[in-house]
């Protein structure tokens, strides 16, 4: 018997197989089907996000495709240049770094270092959103395939670490706003990509902030999120080998030049280099 979670490629019930076929036929008929993007893994992500409710999935997918057209995602990916990337990285460090024990790419955001005024002095929300979208597209099209090849099995979710160390009361509303905005984009347009998330160094105040964010997240997403304080190392090493955790997060990795600038992982090995 398969150990795969039901609703995924290789472990579908007859009803799920039928709904997958119906969704594909609907997208073809309505002119939304793009073979190079809409493989079974993609369609099943949307079906799982709507608990295989076919009408709800169709609506979600159409909304997603219309958003891609309105936001000109393909053009953004091809032509947008985030020329302020180096400056933004100093103010708002976020990066992929190695993999967890299941072969998932690890994505780290040091939100506690974020100062919104400094950030908005070097970029704006529209450009930042475009950069986030490019990150999602890169994750799906380059990082996941490279991690899958390395792990020897299909990888389609990530492991995220949000570090709130240093976050002040002054900046918490902005931090909450960023988490909400990114989460909404992920939920609506890039569903089922999160394997698990650790929000570390969360101060006591964060519980109040979290209550404002939770209503914007679906139940399945909330269950994947672990909120811990400063004693987070034992939790991280349950899922990530110490040598894959940056030393500034109490791990053993010390990339030359800094882990936040190294972009080390299967996606930068051989032909998979970004």
pLDDT tens digits for 69-96?
999 999 999 999 999 999 999 999 999 9
* pLDDT, averaged across the chain: 90
User: pLDDT (tens digit, 9 = 90+) per residue, 23-59?
Assistant: 999 999 999 999 999 999 999 999 999 999 999 999 9
Q: Examine the pLDDT at 9 and tell me if it is beyond 90.
A: yes
Return all residues near 87 (Cβ < 8 A) that are at least 6 apart: 122, 123
CA distance 271 to 274: 9
130 has a pLDDT exceeding 80:
yes
Q: Which of 7, 92, 88, 84 is nearest to 44 (CA)?
A: 7
Instruction: Tell me the C-alpha distance between 225 and 182, whole Å.
Output: 14
Task: List domains and CATH numbers for the chain.
Answer: 14-71 (1.10.8.20), 83-268 (3.40.525.10)
Region 132-145: mean pLDDT is: 96
> How is the beta sheet containing 194-200 ordered, strand by strand?
94-99, 105-109, 158-163, 194-200, 225-227
If one compares 215 and 14, the residue with the highest pLDDT of the two is 14
Q: How confident is the model at residue 160 (pLDDT cuts 50, 70, 90)?
A: very high
Whole-model pTM: value is 0.90
């Amino acid at each position: 018997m398969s150990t795969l979670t039901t609703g995924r490629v290789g472990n579908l019930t007859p009803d799920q197989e039928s709904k997958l076929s119906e969704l594909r036929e609907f997208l073809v008929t309505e002119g939304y089907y793009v073979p190079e993007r809409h493989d079974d893994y993609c369609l099943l992500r949307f079906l799982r996000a709507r608990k295989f409710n076919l009408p709800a999935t169709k609506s979600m997918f159409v909304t997603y495709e219309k958003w891609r057209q309105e936001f000109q995602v393909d053009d953004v990916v091809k032509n947008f240049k985030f020329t302020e990337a180096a400056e933004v990285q100093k103010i708002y460090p976020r990066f992929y770094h190695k993999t967890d024990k299941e072969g998932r790419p690890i994505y780290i955001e040091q939100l506690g270092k974020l100062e919104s005024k400094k950030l908005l002095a070097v970029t704006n929300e529209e450009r930042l959103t475009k950069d986030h979208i490019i990150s999602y597209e890169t994750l799906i099209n380059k990082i996941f395939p490279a991690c899958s090849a390395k792990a020897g099995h299909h990888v389609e979710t990530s492991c995220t670490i949000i570090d709130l160390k240093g976050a002040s009361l002054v900046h918490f509303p902005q931090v909450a706003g960023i988490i909400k905005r990114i989460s909404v984009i992920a939920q609506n347009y890039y569903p089922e990509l999160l394997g698990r998330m650790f929000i570390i160094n969360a101060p006591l105040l964060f519980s109040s902030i979290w209550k404002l964010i939770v209503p914007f997240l679906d139940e399945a997403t909330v269950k994947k999120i672990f909120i811990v304080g400063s004693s987070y190392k034992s939790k991280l090493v349950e899922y990530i080998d110490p040598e894959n955790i940056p030393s500034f997060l109490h791990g053993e990795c010390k990339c030359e030049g800094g882990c936040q600038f190294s972009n080390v992982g299967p996606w930068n090995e051989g032909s998979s280099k970004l």
